[in-house]
Amino acid sequence: MPRHIVALALVVATLLAAPRVAHAKYKCSENHDRGFAFVEGFATALSVPALTVNGSDTPRRLVGVQVPGATEALVGAGLGLELRCDYILYDIVNVRYAVSLDDGLAGTASADDTTVNASRGAIQVLDVGVPLVGLPSGFQVYVDDKRDFKLSLRADLGVERVWASATVAGAGVAPSPGSIYSWNPYVRAQAALCTRLGAVIPGDGAWACLTVSPVIYDRSPFPGVSGGLRLDL
């Protein structure tokens, strides 16, 4: 059997088994928080390093030209599946998409010993969180006697896809379109202060949360931070 099919089968089996393993180990109490999904919106300040023009649509002589780095402001949204069982959080899968607010960035670079102007369009980022396979991804505690407010702390790690359009031009170099793309690992933490929405959404599992998410690693240590709103369901 091809290796990629075996790997896909193992991933699917892991995703299906994670909630069952958690339930078997920790029986969720009826009067505690229980839930299975979340949606979020966020804004991020991120230090982006110099990016290499390397897309398949880039002329060969211009592959490797770098667009200078900068601190970017991005906005985005995400959703995910997780098991919230009393005080324990188990991540199953999550996806986040963000786009930078600027129209692009330009700078000078070198190609074939010639100085050129390299520019790029807005950066787009797609994050895919990796489950911790039975290990808790976070914890939560109630901060009032009526259990209407909670504080949660969690970790998120995975891979991200970064891409943008690019253009390279200069003396003796006709403007040439290209693209930028890369795959990178990331590690992020998140702290959230939440209030219960039982009066708005039926059931005990709905919460509205304010979040702060320092980026621990993304091509370099501690390059940025996110803040936003999350709805736990």
Q: Give the pLDDT confidence of 169-180 residue by residue, as tens digits.
A: 766 667 778 788
CATH topology of domain 3-232: Porin (2.40.160)
Mean pLDDT for the stretch of residues 110-130: 81
Q: How confident is the model at residue 4 (pLDDT cuts 50, 70, 90)?
A: very low
CA distances in angstroms from 128 to 65, 81, 146, 159, listed in the order given: 28, 12, 35, 6
Per domain, the residue ranges of the chain are 3-232
Looking at residue 16, what is its pLDDT? 44
* Dist. CA 124–CA 145, nearest whole Å: 43
Q: Which of the two residues, 150 and 114, has the higher pLDDT score?
A: 150
Query: By the 8 A CB rule, do 88 and 26 touch?
Result: yes
- What secondary structure, in 3-state letters, does 163-219 show? EEEEEEEECCEEEEEEEEEEEEEEEEEEEEEEEECCCCCCCCCCEEEEEEEEEEEEC
Mean pLDDT for the stretch of residues 136-147: 83
Q: What does the pLDDT look like over 37-83, one tens digit per residue?
A: 899 999 999 998 888 887 776 667 677 777 878 899 999 999 999 88
Looking at residue 11, what is its pLDDT? 42
Q: Six-digit token pair at 82? A: 């997780």
Candidates 42, 48, 19; CA nearest to 190 is: 42
Residue 124 corresponds to which amino acid? Q
The pTM of the full predicted model, rounded to 2 decimals, is 0.79
CA distances in angstroms from 54 to 65, 147, 167, 191, 196, listed in the order given: 8, 52, 11, 36, 47
Mean pLDDT for the stretch of residues 17-27: 46
Q: Report CA torsion sign: 196, 227, 225, 166.
A: positive
Candidates 47, 46, 51; CA nearest to 168 is: 51
Q: Which of the two residues, 106 and 137, has the higher pLDDT score?
A: 137
Mean pLDDT for the stretch of residues 212-219: 95
CA distances in angstroms from 196 to 13, 34, 76, 100, 161, listed in the order given: 33, 12, 24, 32, 34
Candidates 72, 75, 65, 87; CA nearest to 169 is: 65
